[in-house]
Chain A
Amino acid sequence: MSAAVLTASQAGLLSCLTCGLLSRPAPQAESACPRCGARLHARKPASLVRAWAFLVCAMVLYLPANILPIMQMESLFGWQSDTIMSGIVFLWSTGSWPLAIIVFVASIVVPLLKMLALLTLLIAVHRGVRVHTHDLARLYRLLEIVGRWSMLDIFVVAILVALVQLQLVATVTPGQGAAAFGAVVVLTMLATMSFDPRLLWDSARGEGGHGRRA
């Protein structure tokens, strides 16, 4: 990276994340985009603190999400309680292994990788990591794309609960694990949105983006 590289914040400009307009901030502290009216910040406000808060909550809830049942099915054939993992095992054992793999990736692999990736990004910014910035930026872009697919199991529970309501024959009720899992998905999405990828490039240049000079 040469010294000629200049960012908008170094040039005293603010770029609007909503409409893309570049503008010179007004002297007062709060400024709004002159074109679309969105609030402007050099970096997303309290990016690291918010991302950490959402991430820690998600990590705590990840345990009950996986241990508690996400749904119970009562039917003529007996009573069955499913956690996320046992639902996957059921799909696998009944021969639907392509779906078992999809659910495994969406419900187990993606949330876990998402939390590890956020952890990596946050630690990289805090430590002012100067290498692999391109890979970290790519990791962030990937997070934004895959995050929503973890909702898969929530929708499965919702559909089964709505559909399997045959009194005496079979009923499905949602379990507390589903609520915890839904919270994990939402919290990791909020953490991803709060994180400002520009901080990666700031710290790669030794700037310490949140007002801390390295």
Chain B
Amino acid sequence: MSAPLTACPECDLLQTVAPPRADMLACCARCDSVLHRPVDEDVDKPLAYTLSAGILFLIANAFPIVGLELQGQSSSATLFGTARALYEQNMVMLAVLVGFTTIVVPGVQLAAMSYVLVPLRMGWVPHGLPLALRILQAVRPWGMTEVFILGLLVSLVKLAGMANVEPGIALWSFGGLLLMIAAAVASFDARAIWARLEVAR
């Protein structure tokens, strides 16, 4: 079979693109945008990353991220607590934005990837696969776990001068979550799955 004809999503140039070999990228002949990453037919790797990210995500949500102690008084914050605190201060839109980018989007991403990958691993195509893949693509720019972690670092430095800061369990799982989500999203090749879907039908 000859290389399929595709249009570059960024400049619309028609060209034939063969799947590149490992360690190589297929780029658009005109605008250099990446058209194809090496196709990994295997779903084992993204599935492993997704499941470990899922476990870390649960821990990161269940436990306090960080605790604060000053003059005998103490407080701690969970991930949900950061969104709720803004809500209680009448910053509803900000609360929604923070909750959406740090809890809802990563949660939806991990759920949708598991929903797609687990059945594929077991050899059948899940019902509603196109919808799951479309949701994944739509929410992707709004997942901001890594930005949140940098924000955490900045806040801790700001507080370090005036109070005792105690890292919570969730802080460590956040570090792992950052790596696992990035690895899962990077190794999850939606185009390869689309191609599979076409064959399966």
Contact = CB atoms under 8 A, between A and B. Distances in A.
A160 B10 contact: no
B2 interface: no
A189 B175 CA distance: 26
B31 interface: yes
A133 B98 CA distance: 36
B22 interface: no
A174 B151 contact: no
- Name the residue in A161, A165, A202 with the highest tally of chain B Cβ atoms < 10 Å from its Cβ: A161
A149 B191 CA distance: 27
Given A163-B75, A166-B75, A141 B33 contact: yes
Contacts of B30: 1, 5, 201
Interface in B127-156: 130-131, 133-134, 137, 141-142, 144, 147-148, 150-155
B17 to A, nearest CB: 10
Interface residues of A, number: 75
B130 A35 contact: yes
A168 B75 CA distance: 13
Interface string A4-23: 01111101010101111110
A117 interface: no
Contacts of B33: 137, 141
B157 interface: yes
Query: How extensive is the interface on chain B, given as a class?
Result: 35 or more
Contacts of B89: 161, 173-174
Nearest to B97: A182
Contacts of A156: 151, 154-155, 158
B153 A197 contact: no
Interface of B: 5-7, 9-14, 30-33, 65-66, 68, 70-71, 73-77, 81-86, 89, 91, 93-94, 97-98, 101-102, 130-131, 133-134, 137, 141-142, 144, 147-148, 150-155, 157-159, 161-163, 190-191, 194, 197-198
Interface of A: 1, 5-9, 11, 13, 15, 17-22, 35-38, 75-77, 87, 90-91, 94, 96, 99, 102-103, 106, 133-134, 137-138, 140-141, 144, 147-149, 151-170, 173-174, 178-179, 182-183, 186, 189, 193, 197-198, 200-202
Given A38-B134, A159-B151, A202-B12, 6 more contacts: A21-B194, A75-B162, A137-B33, A151-B144, A152-B151, A169-B71
6 contacts: A5-B13, A11-B14, A99-B157, A148-B141, A152-B150, A201-B11
List of 10 A-B pairs having minimum Cβ-Cβ separation, nearest first: A155-B151, A8-B7, A15-B7, A162-B85, A162-B77, A7-B12, A201-B11, A162-B82, A166-B73, A159-B155
